[in-house]
A and B are shown apart, each in its own frame.
Chain A
Amino acid sequence: MPDATGLELLAGELGDATLETVYFRERAMLVVDPAQIRAVLQTLRTKGYAFMASLHGVDHYPEEPRLGVVYELLDMSRVDRITVKARVPLDAPQIESVTEDWPTANHQEREVYDMFGVVFEGHPDLRRILMPEDYEGHPQRRDFPLGGEPVIFTRDEAKWLEHRE
């Protein structure tokens, strides 16, 4: 793990792309400007963090910018991990896709889009992956209610369709 000093040095090298550094429980995290996310990740890649272990979303409800995309990078030769987070506001949830650099991001970006509604610009095939294609809403957002999903049974299908009209 880069220690707290190493993290600050790294943040200094990245310049104004870094918004915040968090060193918590011996884990280093960089919060970066979403507009420069691809450049930041490419820079980190040249520093050895070449393996993208994970890409996932997080919702900071009710703080803005609400939606976060978390990139877990790993340097396999030094066994060193760093977390990069980019936060985008709910009304403009666009961020550049990194699928071209890391093909592993393909399905994971689709999952983040599906669950949080973050739009990855330049993604080759940005569709829902886990939820049905005609599903409305992004269920992992914190303000999305739990439960209450209508289930249509064959015996009352006609009633449902009537109800819809």
Chain B
Amino acid sequence: MNPGDGPSLSAYRRQEESIVLAPVEEQLRSDSDEATHELLTLNFGPHHPATHGVLRLLVTLQGEVVRDIKPIVGYVHTGIEKTAEDKAYWKVIPVVERMDYLSYYFNAMAFCGAVETLVEVEVPKRGQYLRVIHLELNRIASHLIWLGTSALDLGAISIFLYCLREREMILDLFEMSSGQRMHTRYFQVGGVIEDIPSGFAKKLREFLKVMPERADEYGAILNSNEIVLQRLRGTCPLDAETLLSLGVTGPLLRAAGNPWDLRKADPYSSYEDFKFKIPVGTVGDNYDRFAVRLAEIYESVRIIEQALDGLPEGPFITEDRKVALPPRHELATSMEALIHHFKLVTEGFRVPPGEAYYPIESPRGELACYVRSDGSSKPARVHMRDPSFVNLQALGPMTTGSYIADMIATTAMLDPILGGIDR
């Protein structure tokens, strides 16, 4: 007797057994079935834990397969670019830091770099090295948040707590050097606001010793997890050619095998002094995206080690009193310093008219700041070329034709930061 035709079975049980569990692709392949599969439009987000922010995706599904995807953004648009036009140059730094809230040092670096290009101010070597230390620490912090939240999306909860544990160490270091854990306003036009305090180097070395071990642990946990591997390997690949046409840079492009990294290709802030490798992937699937970012943590640690070992003596901010505040102790003795201080704090410095585009390598790709000056002490235009905003366009080409569950993994591996997208 077949289990299906017994009268003892409930209607629900019979219906359940009638469902064919053939792979969805096969169902889609036959034309006759195609007509019977109606399309479903699913509104995904804006408030959904797997969208990594206030991102809304209009997903058109055929069965479980994604047929079309339309990102809708703008929910956290705060008009930062507009606000920046109303502030003196040095007051813009804390505003732009709040764009991509996981990589605030990078935002400040791009803006300061653009203004330094316009004013033609030279950053002292020590300032450049201190910038590199903080940039790379911030890159690790950003990658840790990405790793934790991505693993959360894939169902691994504990790794999120481990990642936050190491990020905490980085935030403590930021607190030591600048007094703030996030949005530190440490970078200034012409250098950094303060030298690192005593004890910073020791604490940083402790972190540098711990971090590679911990990254080994993350790799060991995730690379031996069959579920994670199955969800990442071979899912949603995209070739480098398409990624380039979509303007995608950063770890996503490197995962597809193109070793484009601005730190190597077009070094800024003394990156040419350091030896490091650029991790690249082979096929550009989700696993490569994961592996490239994890490997970048080790490289960042190497860069920080070299920067700390070779940290030159000297000033940490430019001596040009027209753009940088004089040291506090000078105010009591020097009339000139007092005038400069007063002038900088009230009006700010004036910038020669012109335009500058300053690209740097952020944890998500090419982050660039475009500044147009009209000669006054306020910028006429500040635009951030945010990598998240540009990279988001690749979500459609990546996920079309794959399962909706892979779309979640791809969104996580895309690492979009909505504060940066909406600005």
* Residue from A72, A130, A144 within 8 A of B422 (CB atoms): A130
User: For the complex, is A119 an interface residue (Cβ under 8 Å from B)?
Assistant: no
The answer to whether residues A104 and B82 also contact, given A53-B385, A130-B77 and a CB cut-off of 8 A, is no
Nearest B residue to A76, CB-CB:
B260
User: For the complex, is A159 an interface residue (Cβ under 8 Å from B)?
Assistant: no
Q: Are A79 and B265 in touch, CB under 8 angstroms?
A: yes
Whole-angstrom CA separation of A6 from B120 in the bound complex: 23
Q: How large is the interface on B (under 10, 10 to 19, 20 to 34, 35 or more residues)?
A: 35 or more
Q: Are A27 and B393 in touch, CB under 8 angstroms?
A: no
User: For the complex, is A139 an interface residue (Cβ under 8 Å from B)?
Assistant: yes
Q: Are B74 and A54 in touch, CB under 8 angstroms?
A: no
- Restricting to B322-340, which residues have a CB under 8 Å from any CB of A? none
> What mask results when residues 348 to 383 of chain B are scored 1 for a CB within 8 Å of chain A, else 0?
000000111101000000101010100000001101
Q: Are A79 and B266 in touch, CB under 8 angstroms?
A: yes
Nearest A residue to B372, CB-CB:
A58
Name the A residues within 8 Å of B272 (CB-CB). Answer: none
- Restricting to B227-256, which residues have a CB under 8 Å from any CB of A? 244-248
Name the B residues within 8 Å of A111 (CB-CB). Answer: 389
Whole-angstrom CA separation of A53 from B74 in the bound complex: 22
Name the B residues within 8 Å of A104 (CB-CB). Answer: 245-248, 390, 393
Q: Are A59 and B73 in touch, CB under 8 angstroms?
A: no
Q: Are A53 and B392 in touch, CB under 8 angstroms?
A: no
Name the B residues within 8 Å of A35 (CB-CB). Answer: none
Q: How many residues of A contact B (CB 8 A)?
A: 37
User: For the complex, is B118 an interface residue (Cβ under 8 Å from A)?
Assistant: yes
Main SS of chain A's interface residues? mixed
* Residue from B260, B357, B389 within 8 A of A81 (CB atoms): B357
Name the A residues within 8 Å of B393 (CB-CB). Answer: 103-104, 106-107
Q: Are B368 and A72 in touch, CB under 8 angstroms?
A: yes
> What mask results when residues 13 to 52 of chain A are scored 1 for a CB within 8 Å of chain B, else 0?
0000000000011010100000000000000000000111
The answer to whether residues A56 and B392 also contact, given A83-B357, A102-B245 and a CB cut-off of 8 A, is no
Q: Are A52 and B73 in touch, CB under 8 angstroms?
A: no
Whole-angstrom CA separation of A153 from B228 in the bound complex: 45
Q: Are B120 and A59 in touch, CB under 8 angstroms?
A: no
User: For the complex, is B225 an interface residue (Cβ under 8 Å from A)?
Assistant: no
User: For the complex, is B79 an interface residue (Cβ under 8 Å from A)?
Assistant: yes
The answer to whether residues A103 and B74 also contact, given A24-B355, A53-B368, A108-B390 and a CB cut-off of 8 A, is no
The answer to whether residues A56 and B385 also contact, given A24-B354, A130-B74 and a CB cut-off of 8 A, is yes
User: For the complex, is B117 an interface residue (Cβ under 8 Å from A)?
Assistant: yes
* Residue from A29, A53, A76, A146 within 8 A of B86 (CB atoms): A146
Whole-angstrom CA separation of A2 from B390 in the bound complex: 26
User: For the complex, is A140 an interface residue (Cβ under 8 Å from B)?
Assistant: yes
Can you list the 4 inter-chain pairs with the closest CB atoms, starting with the nearest? A104-B247, A54-B385, A130-B74, A130-B77
Question: Could you tell me which A residues sit within 8 Å of B by CB distance?
Answer: 24-25, 27, 29, 50-54, 56-59, 70, 72, 76, 79, 81, 83, 102-104, 106-108, 111, 115, 128-132, 139-140, 142, 144, 146
Sample of 9 A–B contacts (CB below 8 Å): A24-B355, A53-B359, A58-B383, A70-B370, A102-B245, A104-B248, A104-B393, A108-B389, A146-B85
Question: Could you tell me which B residues sit within 8 Å of A by CB distance?
Answer: 73-74, 77, 79, 81-83, 85-86, 117-118, 120, 244-248, 260, 265-266, 354-357, 359, 366, 368, 370, 372, 380-381, 383, 385, 389-390, 392-393, 422-423
